Chains A and B, each alone.
Chain A
């Protein structure tokens, strides 16, 4: 067990060691208990100001981060690109440096371009937390997913996890694969060949195009959202119709019951009900979809707490 994170930023799961992830989980356990108290607030980050900069739409992630920050007593400023000077042509580094000039210590950023967080971390003097960068990574989602598996099954090592659906466009998938592999889980990716990255097997995962077979194999199925907004950007559609996708790769009650064993169902949200998963499964007894959302706040509190505190980290003066 390490006693401090090995990184100053959280740009991707790639930057974290298994010990880092374990430290985040241990810390999140403490915050989960805090969140069950009548007063769900601790003073740890009362000297820290955090800017949430969202260049892409988000509901769950932004609210989750904001709640995490407020429950750590940090000061919070929110910024979304629709109402900002980026519309007037300001560059990313200028935008962020202007925010930092107002004495901001940490930046939580979502951006449509892969690597935006990495780029920013090289040009500004603040801890950066990646809240999703294009199709690249979404590290806090992967952490809360693995944390939820650990909570439900008591361990992550050796657990068989299926990640189903639009792997190609999914930053959740990449971060999940990296996180689960680091923690010793077995991962199978399942989806149509057109939504599967070409070199997926290089990440140490199995690849399948047969959902029923994959469901029989796994302990946990993480049903990803079909990212309608990222399909066909280059004039190519990746599958013929949503109806056909739902028939081949959607999870409904009938399919679930045919597995012949209990598996845990996850979804990173937002759900396209009736496409990748039907309501009776998403809201059923084996779904931990809302637990994932609940755990998200505790895991994000842990990440912010660990990045803000510890050796060599001090409030900017």
Chain B
């Protein structure tokens, strides 16, 4: 079956911009904010957000890090393949910062739980919020909800949501496809 395209091109760019403006509207300024992208695919979203935010605010820099959660997963014995760790680049303390945790797709919530756990090694943030490009509602296994959402997708178990990025995949696109079980 052909994948169903949920969002692409200019509309995709608008959604990312809207999330940036929402963040600025909520916080006023981003001085004490730290953006943290989750490896592997959340960092692509986080990098885009960073460059958009820099452009919109005219700031020179925004505190930004990338976090790998491989060693904090609760399912590493249950996955069909061994998870290969990505890199963590977080060279600042989270103490007192307002963190925005960033991932592309929110599904069961387990990755975010592992991300919250992994973050503990870097200090005690003042607050943590969650931003996702796609929220797959109704498939949560943990009580975790996003604060900023690009798009809601109501999907069933054997569907797979893929987010592609211009920078790495050559196209901005969110698509939904069936995977054989």
Residues of A within 8 A of B (CB): 1, 3-5, 23, 26-27, 29-31, 33-34, 37-39, 41-44, 72, 305-306, 308-311, 313-315
Contact = CB atoms under 8 A, between A and B. Distances in A.
Given A44-B71, A306-B82, A309-B77, 11 more contacts: A23-B82, A37-B121, A37-B122, A38-B121, A38-B122, A38-B123, A41-B121, A309-B76, A309-B83, A310-B82, A315-B77
A201 to B, nearest CB: 37
Interface in B96-136: 117-118, 120-123
A34 to B, nearest CB: 7
Contacts, number: 68
A4 B82 contact: yes
A311 B80 contact: yes
A27 B79 CA distance: 16
A306 B83 CA distance: 9
Interface stretch (B84-92, B142-150, B152-160, B170-178): B84-92
A1, A38, A43, A309, most chain B CB atoms within 10 A: A309
Nearest to B84: A26
Interface residues of B, number: 23
Interface in B64-81: 68, 70-73, 76-77, 79-81
Given A37-B121, A39-B121, A43-B117, A30 B70 contact: yes
Contacts of B122: 37-38
Given A29-B87, A38-B122, A39-B120, A310 B81 contact: yes
B85 A313 contact: no
B20 to A, nearest CB: 29
A31 to B, nearest CB: 8
A31 B87 CA distance: 10
Given A34-B71, A39-B121, A29 B85 contact: yes
A254 B76 CA distance: 52
Given A30-B87, A37-B121, A43-B117, A305 B81 contact: no
A42 B82 contact: no
Nearest to A5: B82
Interface string B45-76: 00000000000000000000000101111001
Contacts of A27: 84-85
Nearest to A41: B121
A100 B59 CA distance: 59
A13 B79 CA distance: 26
B121 to A, nearest CB: 4
A33 B121 CA distance: 12
Contacts of A311: 79-82
A42 B71 contact: yes
Contacts of A3: 81-82, 84
A35 B163 CA distance: 32
Contacts of B88: 30, 33-34
A210 to B, nearest CB: 43
Contacts of A309: 76-77, 82-83
Contacts of A37: 121-122
A305 B121 contact: no
Contacts of A5: 82
B11 to A, nearest CB: 35
A16 to B, nearest CB: 14
B87 A313 contact: no
Contacts of A308: 77
Nearest to A305: B71
A314 B118 CA distance: 23
Contacts of A1: 84
A29 B73 CA distance: 17
B77 to A, nearest CB: 5
B83 to A, nearest CB: 8
What are the 9 closest A-B residue pairs judged by CB atoms, nearest first?
Answer: A30-B85, A42-B71, A310-B82, A39-B121, A3-B81, A309-B76, A4-B82, A44-B71, A37-B121
